[in-house]
Amino acid sequence: MESINRLIILGKEQLDCGNYDNALNFFEQAISLDQKDPDLWNLKGIALRSLGRYDEAISCFNKSLSIDPRDKNAS
């Protein structure tokens, strides 16, 4: 789990700096380690939305909601 947490931290830092491609890369790496975490899919969706890749972002948000329909953080 430590590596997933580190990837999330790095991805969020990249999001905050506006480095959306880098953030997306970190979130995709985290998802490859845990595909059942709705928060990871939501973060990937945020990065994609920031890149203007709206259809892909919607797919990620829907994936997050399919894992946890009551996910309060889904955008």
Q: How far, in Å, CA of 18 to CA of 35, rounded?
A: 25
CA distance 64 to 4: 17
Domain formed by 2-67, architecture: Alpha Horseshoe (1.25)
What's the confidence (pLDDT) of residue 70? 73
For residue 59, what pLDDT is reported?
Answer: 97
Q: Write the pLDDT tens digit of every residue in 16-70.
A: 999 999 999 999 999 999 999 999 999 999 999 999 999 999 999 999 999 988 7
> What distance in Å separates the CA atoms of residue 74 and residue 11, rounded to the nearest whole number?
17
Structural domain boundaries of the chain? 2-67
Res. 71: pLDDT tops 60: no
Report whether 26 contacts 7 (CB < 8 A). Answer: yes
